[in-house]
Amino acid sequence: MQPILPSHPIRSITAFSLLVAMLAASCPARLGACASCPSGDVGTSYNFPDGAGGLAWMQYNFESQSQNYSGFNRAPADANHDKLIQTSTMIAGFQYFWNEKWGFQVLVPSANTLYRYAQHNDGHSEEEHEGGHEEEQVVTKQWWAMGDIRLNAIWTGLSKDQSTGINLGVKLPSGNWTEPNVERSVQVGTGSTDILFGFYHRHRITSDARWSWYSQAQLDAPVISQGGYTPGIAVDVAAGVYYSGLRIGKVKIRPIAQTLFTTVAADSGPAASGQNNGFQQLSLAPGIEFELHPVRLYTDVAMPVMNNVSGNQLIAPAQVRVIASYAF
């Protein structure tokens, strides 16, 4: 969803991905009911296309959603029947550009999820009872499942140097959304078919092109749903500044400072989780990249500085992302 600027400050950027930043799979599902996490990988630094060629990568994301929020503030843990949602996500990515204007991208995610929640001995969650906790027990589930595959067509013809581009794609309902005794918002797959649309722009700040900035946005809009559940429309926005003047021997080092914003509308349908879905989140995500061409290693840590959630939802204090890629 994811960058050495000599004589030509834009085109000389090596291709990592058009927008690994637009993976939009950092959360295996839109955890909107009683959990919340940024839905997109908008903001994977400054790694944009620079002409024909391909890229393959593996991405690992980890988050542990353990802090209960209501509105803008921390809330008592007892107010939420979800206690912990811990997710490790692997994303296999492939991207190829035929020429300087056209390319495509395929993203295949999978996730291992640990879900801890409170329920009564009759099998119903706490929120399904009007009161009383005497029969409550904490249940832990853990499972692995495939996620929703994303296909994107990429066009960079808005500018001659590929500094501005768009993507249009589809998210397929290929992920598992029927794990027993797990509410729909915590499933790895959403069960929906979504339209994806994104935009990016990058530009140098200094004349020597060592300092540059970028901005990106990604829309994820469900158009076909099933099983009585439609995830909320999501928009991810990112802006960042990076420096490309460091190296140790042949290894190029690029630090980056980024700001990420995610807004997700409320889920709908009879299988949605009441009022406990929909959120906005603003995060700071410092990162660093190491390159020994054609191999790159990138990592960042997204730390929320503002959360606004509907009802009660779990927030992760940080999200860790690591990406290893090979350009060809």
Q: Which two tokens stand for residue 39?
A: 């839905």
Q: What is the pLDDT of residue 71?
A: 96
| Global pTM value | 0.85
pLDDT above 70 coverage of the chain, percent: 80
More confident residue, 64 or 136: 64
In the CATH hierarchy, which fold is given to the domain comprising 20-327?
A: Lipocalin (2.40.128)
Picking from 32, 48, 266, the residue whose alpha carbon sits closest to that of residue 166 is 48
**What is residue 296's predicted lDDT score, i.e. its pLDDT?**
92
Could you tell me how far CA 14 lies from the centroid of its own chain?
23
* 22 pLDDT higher than 70: no
User: Do 26 and 319 touch, CB atoms closer than 8 A?
Assistant: yes
Mean pLDDT score of the chain: 83
* Alpha carbon separation from 154 to 21, 104, 167, 188 (Å, rounded): 13, 5, 4, 26
User: Does 167 score more than 70 pLDDT?
Assistant: yes
What does the pLDDT read at residue 37? 40
Where do the structural domains in the chain lie, given as residue ranges? 20-327
- Predicted pLDDT at 122: 59
